[in-house]
Amino acid sequence: MKIGFIGLGNMGGPMAKNLAAAGHAVTGFDVAAPMPEGVAAAASAAKAASEANVVITMLPDGAILRKVADEVVPAMRQGAILLDCSTVDVESARAVADQATAAGLRALDAPVSGGIGGAQAGTLTFMVGGSDDAFADAKPLFDIMGQKAVHCGPSGNGQAAKICNNMILGATMIATCEAFALADKLGLDRQSMFDVVSTSSGYSWSLNAYCPAPGIGPKSPADNDYKPGFAAELMLKDLRLSQQAAAAVDADTPMGRAARDLYAQFVEAEDGRGKDFSAMLPRFEKRGRS
Ligand code: NAD
C-alpha cells in the first residue's frame, strides 16, 4: 500500500518505521521530528497524503488534527482512508470523519494503547471507530503496528473506548496507590499486600501488571525510579478528554472527575510532570490526611 504518515513523534515514528519495514511505501511529514528509517520525506502534509491509499495521523490533540485534516482531506484520492491514531476528543474525531466522508473519503478513528514500547515492538492495541469496509481494508496495517484491533462501531467510538478505558485506569491506579500508602502506615509489608490483593478481589491491571510499588510483582516503571512508561501528564490529558466527553453527554462520572483533579494537582502544582502515572504512590507516601 501507499501510506502517508503525518506526525512522526514518539509513537508515530516507530509505527511508520514498522510499516516501511513490512514493505509498504511510506511517505512522511512532521513539522519537527526526523524521518524514521525507510520513510520518504514529503515537503508538506498535503504532499504526503496526495498519492496514498491510507493517510495515518499521529498528532498531539484534536485542534491539530482538525488543522491537518483541513490540509490533507482536499489532497487525498477518492475512496482513500484517513486513519487517525491520535488520542483526541470524541467531537473532533466525529467532525473530521464527517469532513472526510463529505469529500468522498473514508475515515477511521483508531487510538491506541500500549505506549512507546508497544509502538516500537508493533504490539499496540487499536480501538477503532468507522465503517466495516474501511476497518477491513486497514486491518493488515493494524496487524503490522499492533497485536489487536477491536472494531467498536461508528466514527468516534474508538476514542470513546479509549477514554473510558483510561478513566478506569486512572481511577484504579489512584486507588491502588492510596491503598499501598495506607497499608504502609498500618504496618502491612508490601509483598504481603501484593500477594493478597493480586489474587483477591482488589486485583487489577494497575496492581498485577504495572505494580506502583518497586521490588514486588512484575518489573514496572516503579523499578526504574518512576521514569515513564506512561507519563502522568498523558494520563491527565486522557482524563480531561473523558470529563469533556462526560459533560457533553451529561454522564455522572465522580470517580473520573476526582482522578482528573488529582492528576491535575500532581502534574501542575506538584512534581508529577515527567514521572510515570504510577508515581502517585510516592506522592501519597509523603502525605498525611488533609
Ligand atoms: P509526540 O509529541 O511525540 O508526537 C506528535 C508529533 O506530531 C510531533 O513529532 C510533532 O512535531 C508532530 N506535529 C505536531 N503538529 C503537526 C502538524 N501540524 N503537522 C505535522 N506534524 C505535526 O506525541 P506522541 O507521544 O507520539 O503521541 C501522539 C498521540 O498518541 C497523542 O495523541 C497521544 O495522546 C497518543 N498516545 C501516546 C502514548 C504515549 O505513550 N506516548 C500512548 C497512547 C497514545
pLDDT for 209 equals 95
**Cell digits for 134?**
474501511
Band of residue 281 on the pLDDT scale cut at 50, 70, 90? very high
Question: Average per-residue pLDDT in the chain?
Answer: 97
Pocket-testing residue among 6, 18, 39, 59, ligand 1, by greatest number of atoms within 8 A of Cβ: 59
Task: Name the residue type at position 106.
Answer: R
pLDDT tens profile 92-122: 999 999 999 999 999 999 999 988 889 999 9
Peptide bond into 229 cis (omega under 30): yes
Q: Which residues of 114-153 are buried (b: 16+ CB within 10 A; e: fewer)?
A: bbbebbbebebbbbbbbbeebbebbeebbeebbeebebbe
Task: Report the run of H or E that residue 280 belongs to, with start and end.
Answer: helix 280-286
For residue 124, what are the β-bridge partners?
A: 146
**DSSP state string for 90-118:** HHHHHHHHHHHHHTT-EEEE--EESHHHH
Q: In this structure, are residues 280 and 239 in contact, taking their beta carbons and an 8 Å threshold?
A: no
Distance 86 CA to ligand 1 centre (A): 7
Band of residue 125 on the pLDDT scale cut at 50, 70, 90? very high
**Cell digits for 251?**
454522564
Q: Which atom of ligand 1 is nearest to the CA of 32?
A: 11
pLDDT for 115 equals 87
Distance 115 CA to ligand 1 centre (A): 11
User: Is residue 58 scored above 90 in pLDDT?
Assistant: yes
Q: In this structure, are residues 116 and 145 in contact, taking their beta carbons and an 8 Å threshold?
A: no
162 tagged catalytic: yes
pLDDT for 1 equals 95
CA distance 203 to 211: 11
**Cell digits for 188?**
502491612
pLDDT tens profile 192-227: 999 999 999 999 999 999 999 999 999 999 999 999
User: Is residue 290 scored above 80 in pLDDT?
Assistant: no
Greater confidence, 115 or 61? Answer: 61
pLDDT tens profile 128-171: 999 999 999 999 999 999 999 999 999 999 999 999 999 999 99
pTM for the model:
0.94
Distance 45 CA to ligand 1 centre (A): 15
**Cell digits for 206?**
494497575
pLDDT tens profile 20-49: 999 999 999 999 999 999 999 999 999 999
User: Is residue 282 scored above 80 in pLDDT?
Assistant: yes
**Cell digits for 147?**
497485536
Contact residues of ligand 1, CB 6 A cut-off: 6-12, 29-33, 45, 58-60, 64, 67-68, 86-87, 112, 115-116, 230, 234, 237
pLDDT for 70 equals 98
Q: What angle do CA 44, 122, 63 make, to 5 degrees?
A: 40
